[in-house]
Chain A
Amino acid sequence: NAGVTQTPKFRILKIGQSMTLQCAQDMNHNYMYWYRQDPGMGLKLIYYSVGAGITDKGEVPNGYNVSRSTTEDFPLRLELAAPSQTSVYFCASSYFRGTGETSYEQYFGPGTRLTVT
């Protein structure tokens, strides 16, 4: 299994440009997440999904959009990039069983380092 994969690894955008960060997992996980990590800071949740066709906002959703058409893929769309979106973006996935003892362990991708200038 490849686990969680993210593309691209690095990207430089000009202010006002748009792009899509790709995330895929091959573990048949139902939950997927997007986080951003600013230098020296923790991770902040942008959006999450509990299954195909279902997404919801996290702490910092402004300026981003997501979709989840399949279990495997969870792309993050940046519209009108701004310097404040310069960050490292991590995608993660987990399997939530909902009954019995549940593990909330999240598997993270390697990240996308985005610079907006």
Chain B
Amino acid sequence: GQQVMQIPQYQHVQEGEDFTTYCNSSTTLSNIQWYKQRPGGHPVFLIQLVKSGEVKKQKRLTFQFGEAKKNSSLHITATQTTDVGTYFCAGNYKLSFGAGTTVTVRA
């Protein structure tokens, strides 16, 4: 079955630094979505990517869908304490979620 892997599992970031988290699928995806879950909260939709090579930005967050539609990345610039949480990628409509990247920020 479809498997979505995310790396790294944990990301400890100094406030103000940049980081990237990666999502890799064993199969080609028709679409990929990114969600953020704050500690103790529920996943909240961030963005959806559909087209090969697509790049979308939301303020300090940049999302990219690979040319082969089997991988994706989320890049955060100038990390802030509000970025703390777990970022999940999920593929296709019966969302196969990766295990997520849990981000902590050192002030």
A interface list, Cβ under 8 A from B? 31, 33, 35, 40-45, 48, 58-59, 90, 92, 94, 96, 101, 103-111
A90-B42, A111-B42 known; A96 and B50 CB under 8 Å? no
B100 — nearest CB in chain A belongs to which residue?
A: A42
Q: A90: shortest Cβ distance to chain B, in Å?
A: 6
Q: A105-B33, A108-B43 are in contact. Are A43 and B50 (CB under 8 A)?
A: no
Known contacts A42-B88, A103-B48, A104-B48, A110 near B100 by CB under 8 Å: no
> Secondary structure of the B side of the interface?
loop
Name B9's closest neighbour in chain A (CB-CB).
Answer: A40
Q: With the chains together, A41 CA to B44 CA distance in Å?
A: 16
What residues of A have a CB within 8 angstroms of the CB of B98 in the complex?
Answer: 42
User: Which residues of A lie under 8 Å from residue B97 when comparing CB positions?
Assistant: 35, 42-44
Whether the pair B95, A108 counts as a contact (CB closer than 8 A) is no
Total contacts A-B at CB 8 Å: 55
Give CA–CA (A64, B45) in the complex, Å. Answer: 26
Q: How far is the CB of B51 from chain A (nearest CB, A)?
A: 10
The interface size bin for chain B is 20 to 34
Contact: B94 with A107, CB < 8 Å?
Answer: no
Q: How far is the CB of A16 from chain B (nearest CB, A)?
A: 29
Min distance, Cβ A6 to any Cβ of chain B, angstroms = 9
Least CB distance, B8 to chain A, in whole angstroms: 13
State A25–B37 Cα separation when bound (angstroms): 20
The reply on B31 being an interface residue by CB < 8 A is yes
Give the residues in chain A near B42, CB-CB below 8 Å: 90, 108-111
A58 and B43 contact, CB distance less than 8 A: no
Please, which residues of chain A bring their CB within 8 A of the CB of B41? 110
Contacts of B93 in A (CB 8 A): 31, 94, 96, 104
- The closest CB in chain A to the CB of B102 belongs to A40
CB-CB under 8 A from A108, the residues of chain B are 42-44
Chain B residues whose CB sits within 8 angstroms of the CB of A58 once the complex forms = 94
**Once the chains are docked, how many angstroms separate the CA of A96 from the CA of B93?**
9
Q: List 8 A-B contacts (CB under 8 A).
A: A42-B6, A45-B95, A48-B94, A90-B42, A105-B33, A108-B43, A110-B41, A110-B42
